[in-house]
Amino acid sequence: MKIRVLGCSGAIAEGSRTTSFLVDHDVLVDAGTGVGDLPLEALAQIDHILVSHSHLDHVLSIGLLADSVMRLRAAQGRGPIQVHALPETLEALRKHIFNGVIWPDFTRLPHADKPVLQLVPFAVGEQLALGGKRFEVLSAAHTVPAVGFALQGPDGWWVYTGDTGPNPALWQRLSTMTVTHLVIETAFSDEEDELASLSRHLCPEKLGHELAQLGGSVDVHITHIKPGEVDAVMAEVSALSTPHRVGALRAGQILQME
Ligand SMILES: [Zn+2]
Ligand SMILES: [Zn+2]
């Protein structure tokens, strides 16, 4: 099993793409701008998209991807791409994106009975078996209904927090799992900790409190830093005292889990 980081930035600029991970060739975790770097043939192989929440930086490529691969997938006889998310997130996509104004309703195109997208609700705590892989939906604490995901590997779980502020429920759940990799957001520097609280994101100081609730010694990958702020945020993160191995996640990074 292989996880490829297509994007891990909090916003866009040259070389910075927003959040998306490709698991093997067929499952996408979030659909930020990084998706657009994949060749068309690779895009057409994506059968599932797991969506952490409705914010634009995580959903922007869903509609564009549907448009790109609709013809090719139909020609290859492939079924709809399943978009998995909380009911509230799916409702937001339906109402605000696939509404015929911002974008066509690809849950009814090219044919209502054979669409390119299918919206599939999940709940926090649910286990999903997708493309031979096992995911668990984790809680997150953000300004809109949001989740994180855990993906089971041979030695333990790869965990992605999604966008989240402090979230005791997450650490409670993870205390019963073997975590090998943790991808956790740190969207703001400590200077902007008020903004971090308001927008329910983490800053390095809050990250320190969160990581203190994670047992063992884990490979921790920091994500969702804004372009231009990586050095400043990582300097503050490096000053934390923690038993974990903490580094910045990079676009293009590939994690082999076997
Ligand atoms: Zn968000
Ligand atoms: Zn975000």
Among the bound ligands, the one closest to the CA of 58 = 2
How far away, in angstroms, is 187 Cα from ligand 2 center?
A: 8
How far away, in angstroms, is 78 Cα from ligand 2 center?
A: 30
Mean pLDDT over the full length of the chain: 97
Helices (H), the chain: 40-44, 56-75, 87-96, 168-174, 193-198, 204-211, 230-238
pLDDT in the model for residue 258 = 76
Confidence of residue 80 (pLDDT cuts 50, 70, 90): very high
| Mean pLDDT of the region 115-127 | 98
Tell me which amino acid residue 158 is: W
How far away, in angstroms, is 76 Cα from ligand 2 center?
A: 33
How far away, in angstroms, is 72 Cα from ligand 1 center?
A: 31
Cβ atoms of 94 and 123 closer than 8 Å: no
Cβ atoms of 138 and 161 closer than 8 Å: yes
Cβ atoms of 205 and 193 closer than 8 Å: yes
Angle between helices 230-238 and 204-211 (to 10 degrees): 40
Q: What's the token pair of residue 189?
A: 């520097």
Residue 86 half-sphere exposure toward CB, CA atoms < 13 A: 19
Among the bound ligands, the one closest to the CA of 30 = 2
Read off the pLDDT of residues 168-185 as tens digits, 9 standing for 90 and up. Answer: 999 999 999 999 999 999
Alpha-carbon distance 53 to 202, whole Å?
A: 16
pLDDT in the model for residue 227 = 96
Portion of the chain with pLDDT greater than 90, in percent: 99
Confidence of residue 228 (pLDDT cuts 50, 70, 90): very high
Confidence of residue 107 (pLDDT cuts 50, 70, 90): very high
Q: What's the token pair of residue 64?
A: 């564009």
Residue listed under structure tokens 């993160």 = 237
Alpha-carbon distance 215 to 174, whole Å?
A: 9
Read off the pLDDT of residues 141-151 as tens digits, 9 standing for 90 and up. Answer: 999 999 999 99
Helix (H) or strand (E) holding 2: strand 2-7
| Mean pLDDT of the region 116-131 | 98
Q: What's the token pair of residue 178?
A: 């073997």
How far away, in angstroms, is 218 Cα from ligand 2 center?
A: 23
Confidence of residue 253 (pLDDT cuts 50, 70, 90): very high
How far away, in angstroms, is 10 Cα from ligand 2 center?
A: 6
pLDDT in the model for residue 110 = 95
Among the bound ligands, the one closest to the CA of 185 = 2
Read off the pLDDT of residues 186-224 as tens digits, 9 standing for 90 and up. Answer: 999 999 999 999 999 999 999 999 999 999 999 999 999
Q: What is the pTM of this model?
A: 0.98
| Mean pLDDT of the region 4-23 | 98
**pLDDT above 80: residue 235:** yes
